[in-house]
Amino acid sequence: MSAPTFTMQTSLSEPKLAVSFRLLLGLYAIIPLCLLLQGFDSLVWSDFLKTNLPSSPYHFVLFQILFGTPHIIASNILLASNADYFQHYRHHIVLMTIAIAVAYFLGSALLPYRLLYTFVACWTVLHVLRQQYGIARGVCQLPNVPFNILLTVSVMTGVAIYLGIFIRGSLTAEQTIWIKQIASVGCLSLVVAGFVFQKYNSSRFGLWFYWANILLVLTSFYLFWQQQYFMAILVPRFVHDATAYVFYVTHDYNKHRLQPRNFIYRAAKAWNIHIFLVLPVLSFALAFILQAYGDEAADWLTLHLFGVEFYKVVTLGVLGYLALMHYYMESLTWQKDSPYREFIAFKP
Domain boundaries, the chain: 19-347
Classify 239 in phi/psi space as left (phi over 0), alpha (psi -120 to 50) or beta.
alpha
Coil, strand or helix: which one is 335?
A: coil
Q: How confident is the model at residue 60 (pLDDT cuts 50, 70, 90)?
A: low
Q: What is the pLDDT of residues 80-120, one digit of tens each?
A: 999 999 999 999 999 999 998 888 888 777 777 778 888 88
Average confidence (pLDDT) over 238-243: 94
Give whichever of 1-5, 28-32, 63-67, 328-332 has the largest mean pLDDT.
28-32
pTM for this structure?
0.88
The residues near 76 (Cβ < 8 Å, ≥ 6 apart) are: 322, 325, 326
Q: Which residue has the higher pLDDT, 14 or 30?
A: 30
Average confidence (pLDDT) over 22-36: 96
Closest CA relative to residue 1, chosen from 244, 238, 213, 236: 244
Q: What is the DSSP string of 244-296?
A: HHHHHHHHHHHHHSSS--SHHHHHHHHTT--HHHHHHHHHHHHHHHIIIIIHH
Cα angle 317, 322, 327; round to 5 = 125
Q: Are the CB atoms for 161 and 124 separated by under 8 Å?
A: no
Rounded CA separation 10/72 (Å): 26
Closest CA relative to residue 242, chosen from 65, 81, 120, 66: 66
Lowest mean pLDDT among 13-17, 112-116, 226-230: 13-17
Q: Which residue has the higher pLDDT, 102 or 217?
A: 217
Q: Are the CB atoms for 28 and 215 separated by under 8 Å?
A: yes
Average confidence (pLDDT) over 136-144: 86
pLDDT given for residue 179 in this prediction: 93
pLDDT given for residue 8 in this prediction: 46
Average confidence (pLDDT) over 29-34: 96
Average confidence (pLDDT) over 257-283: 92
pLDDT given for residue 12 in this prediction: 43
Q: Which residue has the higher pLDDT, 202 or 124?
A: 124
pLDDT given for residue 56 in this prediction: 60
pLDDT given for residue 4 in this prediction: 54
Rounded CA separation 291/320 (Å): 12
Q: What is the pLDDT of residues 170-213, one digit of tens each?
A: 778 888 899 999 999 999 999 999 999 999 887 888 899 999 99
Rounded CA separation 167/116 (Å): 12
pLDDT given for residue 313 in this prediction: 73
Percent of the chain whose pLDDT exceeds 90: 57
Residue 165 has pLDDT above 60, yes or no: yes
Q: Which residue has the higher pLDDT, 339 or 299?
A: 339
pLDDT given for residue 106 in this prediction: 80
Average confidence (pLDDT) over 22-35: 96
Q: What is the pLDDT of residues 39-50, one digit of tens each?
A: 999 999 988 988
pLDDT given for residue 10 in this prediction: 46
pLDDT given for residue 309 in this prediction: 66
Q: What is the DSSP string of 81-137?
A: H-HHHHHHTHHHHHHHHHHHHHHHHHHHHHS-HHHHHHHHHHHHHHHHHHHHHHHHH
